Structure 1
Amino acid sequence: QPLRMHCKTCVLVTSSGHLTGSNRGNEIDQAECVIRMNDAPTKGYGKDVGNKTSLRVIAHSSMQYILRNRNELLNVSHGTVFIFWGPTSYMRKDGKGLVYNNLKGMNQILPQLKLYVITRQKMLQFDELFKRETGKDRKVSNTWLSTGWFTMIIAIELCDRIAVYGMAPPNFCRDRRHRSVPYHYYEPSGPDECRMYISHEWGQKGSHHRFITEKKVFAKWAQIFNILFFQPDWKPESLAINHAEIKPLL
């Protein structure tokens, strides 16, 4: 069944190291709905990222982390909605779909879980949206859309107002004085966020996320929809947009 969910106020919490030491947890938990991504934990980090989770968008590549930490991340009593995405081959229902098989097993163990998947039709729409907004064909440019891309679109569909926490502006890494933070707040010794962004943005061999390109699109959408950015706090630069000509996202 399609997801029936609507929130007046949403907080989209990224997994960025910008959240470390922010003390924004209580502020985040005040929102009607809190959206998180992949296996980003709240336990032990609540002071900075909050404890509430209304919806979690999960990539196929994070499935094993979710299963390994299911006692924390799949807490049925919280009533969290889970949306999974992955390549069509991973969602096959003929016994060969890796993600589908895992979801089926999870549903048998925890039948109360609210599990949803992004359909093939939606995946194609998200690809087309990327091409429309950037002028680049996802496959031709060897691009993997990020979980953040899917999550932002889902948030726009479900929420009247969105506050994004932990997302730096598109030009952040170009400033030589930029603050160095880990890619994940829960992996303080992990890779540097800007190094990760730049290596993916300009990578040619293999498939890469285009994090900076996606952020440029988000900055544009923020001027069309009701989206604000915090930690770091920033406002998108003014763009010449004819609101009357903006087509629906999907």
Structure 2
Amino acid sequence: MTRITIFRHFLTFLQISFIFAITVLTYNHFMMSHESPHRATHFSKNLDINKSQCNSWESHKKWKSLNFTIKKTTKLFLSLEDFFWKQPMSQLHLPYGPRGSELMILKVLAATASYEMPAHIENLECKTCVVVGNSFAIKNTSLGNLINKYDVVMWLNDAPVRGYEQDVGNKTTMRIFYPESATSNPALNNEEDTLMVLVPFKPNDLRWLKEILYDEKRDRRGFWRPPPLTWEVNSSNVRVLDPFFMYETGNQLVKNQKSFRPTTGFLAVFVALNYCDVVHLAGFGYPSKSNPQQLIHYFGRNTMNHMKSSPHDIDREGKVLKKLEDLGA
């Protein structure tokens, strides 16, 4: 019996369940090509939000079971104290480290009022989280009420809420985004206290945020798509994700950080694994590549044809997420 087999039996014996797909993880491109991407039969067996999964000892064992070489950290965002009178945090440049962007980060953080999760979440003994993906798979699932029951609901980029509440809910604890995926009026699809979490892929991303926060002249050069000139958000709700998570998403989950650029959704999964005690996913997965006209999001008109020029390796991400689910992560 191999070590992997023994390990899996051990996980089964402990009845460890950490990351489940609460909707279709439709990795049709390598495992379900013969079925529709939104068939109800793809739903996970367990749709419950089980607080009993939050025992701290058990959560530690679950984290250890993933064989990460790092300690679990619940500090998600950069703070001013990270940069005062300290050695450089990292030798890596964006998106994997702040090297060379420290001054711009200081200016951004000086304009925000907080660097933590809200106290009513931070103080929970058990944090249940769901990452809401943008996949077409969540369409017509009526998962909205269930999604709203989680302590933390993580949203991605510019995914809309209005008009889709029945399937995706309307609770928006945080939204992970970058300038090209920002919208001028976040209030349209976010609650008033939603944390707007910037993923700084490049120095220009921080510059854009600084110009917004200080109401400076906007410079839209250096972006693959022009970001909004106005961004109506309360500065106290703005956070900057620690680049550590981008680095570790590739380094730990895929073991090949240098040539792998995670999608925002894949990055959010690693963030949730760090911060939360129970992690569920909704609306993840792409349809079969054999159907280029299939819509890929629950909103908009983009099809699989639009993925031809994507810099992301969606096959690899799908396999890793399926592996995490199989491990009970």
TM-score > 0.5, shorter chain as reference? yes
Give, as a single letter, the amino acid of the residue that structure 2 aligns with 1:222. Answer: E
Contact 2:133–2:155, Cα closer than 8 Å, also in 1: yes
Contact 1:86–1:99, Cα closer than 8 Å, also in 2: no
How many Å separate the matches in 1 of 2:212 and 2:275?
26
Q: Tell me which residue corresponds to 2:75.
A: none
The answer as to 2:303 corresponding to 1:191 is yes
How many Å separate the matches in 2 of 1:36 and 1:30?
15
Q: Tell me which residue corresponds to 2:241.
A: 118
Greater C-alpha Rg: 2
Deviation at 1:23, TM superposition (A): 1.3
Matches within 5 A, 1:213-232: 213-224=316-327, 226=329
The answer as to 2:280 corresponding to 1:163 is yes
Q: Tell me which residue corresponds to 2:168.
A: 49
1:116 aligned counterpart, secondary structure: strand
Q: Normalized against structure 1, the TM-score is what?
A: 0.66
Comparing 21-30 and 38-47, the one that deviates more: 21-30
Q: How many residues align?
A: 197
Aligned to 1:211, which of 304, 311, 314?
314
Matches within 5 A, 1:1-250: 1=79, 2-4=115-117, 6=122, 8-63=127-182, 66-67=183-184, 69-76=185-192, 79-92=193-206, 97-105=207-215, 110-111=233-234, 113-120=236-243, 122=244, 126-138=246-258, 141=259, 143-168=260-285, 173=288, 181-187=294-300, 189-192=301-304, 195-197=305-307, 199=308, 208-224=311-327, 226=329
Deviation at 1:71, TM superposition (A): 3.1
Q: Deviations over 1:46-82 (max 9, x none)?
A: 011111111111123212xx21x33313542xx2112
Q: Deviations over 1:163-189 (max 9, x none)?
A: 1111138xx637x6x8974222111x3
Closer, same or farther: CA 31–89 of 1 in aligned 2, 3 Å: same
Q: Deviations over 1:198-225 (max 9, x none)?
A: x35xx7xxxx011221222223333556
Q: Tell me which residue corresponds to 2:97.
A: none
Where relative contact order (Cα < 8 A, 6+ residues apart) is larger, the structure is 2
Kindly report the root-mean-square deviation, in angstroms, between the aligned alpha carbons of the 2 structures.
3.2
Closer, same or farther: CA 21–132 of 1 in aligned 2, 3 Å: closer
How many Å separate the matches in 2 of 1:104 and 1:156?
34
2:288 aligned counterpart, secondary structure: helix
Give, as a single letter, the amino acid of the residue that structure 2 aligns with 1:99. Answer: L
Q: Normalized against structure 2, the TM-score is what?
A: 0.51
